[in-house]
Amino acid sequence: MAVQAKTQGSGWKNDGVLAWVFSAPAIILLLVFLIIPFFMAIGLAFTNQPLVPNLNLPTQFVGLRNFVNLFGDATFHKALTNNFLFALVVVPLQTSLALLLAVLVNQNLRFIKVFRTIYFTPVTITMVVVSVIWLLLYDASPEGAINNVVHIMTFGAVDAQNWLGNKLLVWPAIMLLSIWQGVGFQMVIYLAGLQSIPVELYEAAQVDGANALQQFFGITIPQLRNTTIFIVISTTIFAFGLFTQVMIMTTGGPGDATNTTIFYAFMQGFRQGKIGYGSAITVIYFLIVLCISLTQRFFMREERAVE
C-alpha cells in the first residue's frame, strides 16, 4: 500500500510538471507580449519617456502631468467622442443583425450549413485584408465598385461619392465595413444560445396559442439575456479598440474626423515620439474597458441572483 501511494504521488507530481511544460510557451508569450508591456505602459504613463532615448534629455518622472494634459487635449476629446459614437451605432445594429441571422440559420432547412459558412466567412479574414479590400471598393471615382452599385440602384440620381474623404460619409462607411466583418462571430454565439433553449418552452407556448412573434419576445429574448449581455459588452470593447480600419483606410482623416483613442495613442507614441503621453492614453483606454467588463460582471451576477 505504501509503495502504491508513493507511485500515485509520483504520478501527480509528474502530471504537474508536464502541465507546466506544456503551458510554458503560452505563459511566456503572455508575459512578453501582454503582461510585461501592460505594466510598462502604466509606469511610462507617469514619465516623459521619448521614443528614442536622448542622453541630453533623460527620462523623468512627471507624475500626473500627462493625464492633466489629456483633459485639456481637444484632439483626445474628439478621439474619445468618435469611439463613443462608433459604439453607440455599431453595437445595437450589429447585435440586432446577429440575432436576426442566428434565427434565420437556426432553421432545419436544406443547405443551411452553407449559409452559416457564408455568413461566418468574413470573420475568418483578418481586418487588415478586409480594410484593404473595402478601401478598393470605396474608390471615389465613378468606376469604383460601390459608386457603380449606388449609381445603378438609384437610376443615376446619385453621383460618385468620396466615401472616405467626406466627413459625413466616412463614419457610415467604416461602420458598414465593421458590421459586415464582425457580425458572423456574434451570430455563432447567438446560434449556440438559441440551440440551448429547451424545445418544451416553445411547445407549451404553442399549446397556449402563442404565435411566432409572441414566442420570440416571450421566450427567445428572455432566454438569451446572458448571451445578449456578453455580446453587447464584447462588441463594445471591440468598438473602443477600433484601430485597423482607421489606420489603413483614413489615417484619422479627413481632418480628425475618424481619429480614435487607440489610433491617437499610436500616433502620439510612435509618430510623435511621446511614449509617455501615448501610454497615458492607453491607461485611459484600459480604465474604460475595465468599467465595461465590470458592468458585464454586475449584470451576470444580478441574473444569477434572480435565478
Q: What is the pLDDT of residue 273?
A: 92
- H or E element that contains 280: helix 275-306
Specify the residue for cell string 483626445.
Answer: 76
State the Cα–Cα distance between residues 208 and 188, nearest whole angstrom: 30
- E-strand spans in the chain? none
Give residue 303's pLDDT band: very low, low, confident or very high (50, 70, 90).
low
Q: What is the pLDDT of residue 57?
A: 77
Rounded alpha-carbon distances, angstroms, from residue 219 to 57, 102, 193, 223, 306 = 65, 15, 12, 6, 17
Q: Kindly tell me if the per-residue pLDDT of 11 is higher than 60.
A: no
The residue ranges of every structural domain in the chain are 69-306
Question: Where does 69-306 sit in CATH, by number?
Answer: 1.10.3720.10
The pLDDT mean for the chain works out to: 90
C-alpha cell at 4: 502504491
Q: What is the pLDDT of residue 15?
A: 73
β-partners of residue 266 are none
pLDDT tens column, 110-129: 889 999 999 999 999 999 99
Q: Kindly tell me if the per-residue pLDDT of 45 is higher than 90.
A: yes
Q: What is the pLDDT of residue 188?
A: 95
CA gyration radius for the chain? Answer: 25
Q: Kindly tell me if the per-residue pLDDT of 304 is higher than 80.
A: no
Rounded alpha-carbon distances, angstroms, from residue 257 to 70, 162, 237, 307 = 18, 14, 21, 45
**Helix or strand or coil: residue 161?**
coil
178 CB-contact burial (10 Å; exposed 0-12 / middle 13-18 / buried 19+): buried
Question: Residue 203: CB partners within 8 Å, gap ≥ 6?
Answer: none
| Encoded amino acid at 278, one letter | G
Q: Kindly tell me if the per-residue pLDDT of 12 is higher than 90.
A: no
- H or E element that contains 214: helix 212-215
| Range in 48-57, 64-73, 298-307 with the lowest mean pLDDT | 298-307
Q: What is the pLDDT of residue 52?
A: 85
Count of Cβ atoms closer than 10 Å to residue 86 Cβ: 22
State the Cα–Cα distance between residues 167 and 253, nearest whole angstrom: 8
pLDDT tens column, 179-219: 999 999 999 999 999 999 999 999 999 998 989 899 999 99
Q: What is the pLDDT of residue 9?
A: 52
pLDDT tens column, 146-169: 999 999 999 989 889 999 999 999
pLDDT tens column, 17-39: 888 888 999 999 999 998 999 99
Q: What is the pLDDT of residue 255?
A: 87
State the Cα–Cα distance between residues 269 and 40, nearest whole angstrom: 14
Q: What share of the chain is helix, strand, coil (3-state, %, to 5)?
A: 75, 0, 25
Cβ proximity of 57 and 50 under 8 Å:
yes
Q: What is the pLDDT of residue 293?
A: 85
State the Cα–Cα distance between residues 149 and 130, nearest whole angstrom: 19
pLDDT tens column, 253-269: 898 899 999 999 999 99
